[in-house]
Amino acid sequence: MDQQKQPDNGSGKDRFKRMMTTAAVVIFTACCIILFYFSVERYEGLGEGWDTFVGIWQPIIIGMILAFLMNPIMAFFEKRMLPFFTKRCKTPEKAKKTTRMITTLIALLIVIGIIILIFVAIIPELFDTIHFLVTHIEGQIDAILDWANDITGGRYEKNIMKAKGSALDTAMSNALAWVENFIDISTQEVASLLATSVIGIGKFFVNVLIGIIVSVYILCSKETFKGQAKKILYGVFRADHANVILEIARKTRDIFYGFLIGKLIDSIIIGIICYVCMMIFHMPYPLLVSIIIGATNIIPVFGPYIGAVPTVIIIFLTEPMQGIYFLIFVIVLQQIDGNIIGPKILGDSTGLSSFWVVVAIVVGGGLFGFAGMLLGVPTMALIYYLIGRFSRYLLRKRELPEDTEEYINLERIDPKSHVVVEHTEEYMEQTHVNIFHKKEKATGEQPDTKNPNS
């Protein structure tokens, strides 16, 4: 009697597992497509909802940002002050608590002091600069036109002299026409707008005060928050999955800390260098210009040029030749920063190529403004890292090589041995011959087989 074949339970289970995995991928992809369509279709509603969400959480977000900036300062002082309090406190717990509270307050005072110092330095200087330019604008324009006449050797003196009398009047009339065309609101609407602005500014300062308190709580209890987050993580996920999530969280912290803290230090150094050089060369408005250059330098790639435009204009309106010299100085300074200072401080903190940096800044700035331009690069670096990690996982699962270099000259991969087969000279020559034959059949022309580009 013939024996009946026993079903292969192992292969059946593997087939069922593959089917379930495929179904999960299809469902997840469909959900992503639906979510993307909904986001595009209801973009305005989502924007309003996002603004409401951010407004509610603004004090907490401010507190987290302050805690993020204060943490390195607090850790620096804590490392040096903990031994001192350990010797003088009865228990190690009390020494840690006392040290943490004191170092948190020191970090808070330093951060708030820097912010206040910047505002105290820049606001009076900015007010004086605007006041001077507004009250002396006619004389400034005339001086620039006289300078242009001297530079050109009087060749266009008639046109320049004609422009001296009408330049300011034309500019003022154009400005008034713009105001009349684009700002058509009543006195009542102006009062309402001013009242709303005052309320918004007052609310923001209250949120900042609450955020300061929140930042102190976060820093004083950061170990507790870490422990609670890890406990929930390992309670929800399997241990191996939780380990991966924790590793990604640490990588996220390293990317954002490495980029933002490094960029802040780099911008401070650039601002100081700019101030010192402007004082040496006796350029006007050194403090205001240096703060603008340093602040805009935080934005990668485009930041230096964003800061250079208004500062060059301000200096040029005061002293035209100094404005040209300053433009040359800014270009040289940014080359030094981009090739020497920046790489020394930041290193390869993001791991992104120049192309992806530009993409991150353009997309981030388009979606979220200044914050998107600043945070777009580390966010893109994190996405780049996650995609790379996931692709390496899939390649390992299929026993394929993980190094990108091995795929550059790839012709195919042997399905049995999983060995990479690269293009050979014979293959390239045969490819060119096939192209020539196709071209000859399509056009009837005789291509030059000696020239592969023909």
Q: What H or E segment, with its residue span, contains residue 293? A: helix 286-296
Mean pLDDT of the chain: 77
Straight-line distance from the first to the last Cα atom of the chain, in angstroms, rounded to the nearest whole number: 72
Q: Are 140 and 133 in contact (CB under 8 A)?
A: yes
Among 434, 435, 398, 406, which residue's Cα sits nearest to residue 422?
Answer: 406
Q: What is the pLDDT of residue 106?
A: 92
The domain limits of the chain are 56-166+196-220, 236-349
- Please list the alpha-helical segments (H only) found in 42-156: 43-88, 92-135, 137-151
Q: What is the pLDDT of residue 45?
A: 65
Helix (H, G, I), strand (E, B) or coil at 89: coil
Q: How does pLDDT run across 51-65, given as a tens digit for each residue?
A: 788 788 889 999 998
Count of Cβ atoms closer than 10 Å to residue 347 Cβ: 11
Residue-wise pLDDT for 409-436, tens only, equals 777 787 777 777 776 655 555 555 454 5
pLDDT at 72: 87
Amino acid sitting at position 82 = L
How does pLDDT run across 298-350, given as a tens digit for each residue? 887 778 788 888 888 888 877 888 888 899 998 898 888 877 777 777 666 66
pLDDT tens track for 10-28: 566 677 777 777 777 788 8
Amino acid at 46: L
Q: Which of 423, 396, 393 is nearest to 407 (CA)?
A: 423
